[in-house]
Amino acid sequence: MPLRSREIRLAARPRGMPTPDDFELAEVEVPDPGEGEVLVRNAYVSVDPYMRGRMNDVRSYVPPFALGEPLTGGAVGRIVASRSSRWPEGSWVVHDLGWREAAVVEEKRLRAVDPPAAPVSTALGVLGMPGLTAFVGIDEIGGVKEGDTVFVSGAAGAVGSLACQLARHRGARVIASAGSAEKRAWLAELGVESTFDYHETSPRDALRELAPDGIDVYFDNVGGETLEAAIGAMRLHGRIVACGSIAGYNATEPPPGPRNMFLIVTKRLRIQGFIIRDHGDRWEAFVAEVAPLVADGTIGYRETVVDGIERAPEAFLSLFAGDNVGKMLVRVGPEP
């Protein structure tokens, strides 16, 4: 009997904050894999903030999602049928046909779950794309070194929590902002020296208090008011890692820019954006360093798991409410 798979499609282009009505659940029959293809039964699919931008009908570094089509994104699953000599049935793989329970995937779009010893869910989080983002941001873009004071926003999320820990591992002092007491407590457990909740204390006041001598590196996941405060707190020759700007992803008008941009000149700051798909060449170095640290517990991670593909829109929306601690995942099928 052919496999049936439920999937989430984009029903309407959201304006501002998406609503459940912007998504629809559909069920399809999955075809048999053709030559060079495999059939993957997904165990987890990822919901990520960048997907919000793809829901708009604008050209960006990735094309927009098509209306009425299933959404795509990171997924990890097991090959249940294979017509690829390279990928035997039973292998666990990562691919980009998420937001559905099962998919036929071309062999060139597969990556082995690496390392097989860690729970497969980590392949979408601490040992996956968000992990690599933290690694590249801290080292290549931020040039974090011993003795630096590093400020990370969105610090209890998938990228932020590893960015904090890698910065500490490089010998930096870390200041972190996050949206709840639970998140602050977890960051303290991870060894982050100073934390604040940006709902309670303005980033400007918090940085004045926690970094009276300024910060060397700002790892920006949120933009907005926090970015302005960080520019104000930067030391001479500071570096800003422009990773994301989630505070503005649902804006209906262009959000106002930082009002203190001239400080970039006077303080000789460097602000550099990056898109992680340009940095695939760092993958091996990332896994070689971070996987053993995750395995021996030196690096901690958390996951917030929502069950059922029908709840993927809810999981996605809750990223903007800050409901996730660590990586937000949707469990859609059996795991090993």
Residue 102 or 176: which CB sits closer to ligand NDP? 176
DSSP per-residue letters across 72-119: -B-EEEEEEEE--SSS-TT-EEEESB-SBSEEEEEGGG-EE-SSTTS-
* Least distance CB 143 / ligand NDP (angstroms): 17
State whether residue 333 is helix, strand or coil: coil
The pair of three-digit structure tokens given for residue 325, joined into one six-digit string:
């601690």
Does residue 103 touch ligand NDP according to CB under 6 A? no
Angle ∠(52,58,59) on CA atoms, nearest 5: 105
Query: Is residue 74 involved in binding ligand NDP (CB under 6 A)?
Result: no
> Does residue 121 bind ligand NDP (CB under 6 A)?
no
Query: Residue 38 Cβ, how far from ligand NDP at the closest point, in Å?
Result: 26
State yes or no: residue 131 binds ligand NDP (CB under 6 A): no
Closest CA to 205 of 222, 187, 228: 228
Q: Tell me if 91 contacts ligand NDP by CB under 6 A.
A: no
Residue 180 engages ligand NDP in binding (rule: CB under 6 A): yes
Segment 219 to 258, residues that bind ligand NDP, using CB under 6 A: 221-222, 243-247
CA 93 – CA 110 distance, rounded (Å)? 6
From the CB of 131, what's the least distance to ligand NDP, in Å?
10
Q: Per CB under 6 A, does 319 bind ligand NDP?
A: yes
Q: Does 158 bind ligand NDP (CB under 6 A)?
A: yes
Is 322 a binding residue for ligand NDP by CB under 6 A? The answer is yes
49 binds ligand NDP (CB under 6 A): yes
Alpha carbon separation from 115 to 71, 118, 134, 294 (Å, rounded): 27, 6, 18, 11
Q: How many residues bind ligand NDP (CB under 6 A)?
A: 30
- Judged by CB under 6 A, which of 87, 128, 324, 333 binds ligand NDP? 324
Taking the least distance from each CB to ligand NDP, the nearer of 92 and 301 is 301
Cα–Cα dist 75/88, whole Å: 18
Q: How far is the CB of 25 from ligand NDP (least distance, A)?
A: 23
Instruction: Determine the Cα–Cα distance for residues 74 and 44; give it in Å rounded to an integer.
Output: 9
154 sits near ligand NDP (criterion: CB under 6 A): yes
Token couple for 7: 């999937």
- Residue 54 CA to residue 28 CA, distance in Å, equals 23
Residue from 98, 128, 179, 238 binding ligand NDP (CB under 6 A): 179
The SS3 of residue 264 is: helix
Tokens, residue 185 = 């407590």
43 contacts: CB under 8 Å, gap ≥ 6: 76, 77, 78, 120, 121, 331, 332, 333, 334, 335
Residue 202 in contact with ligand NDP, rule: CB under 6 A? no
Binding interface with ligand NDP (CB under 6 A): 48-50, 130, 133, 154, 156-160, 178-180, 183, 221-222, 243-247, 274-276, 319-320, 322, 324, 328
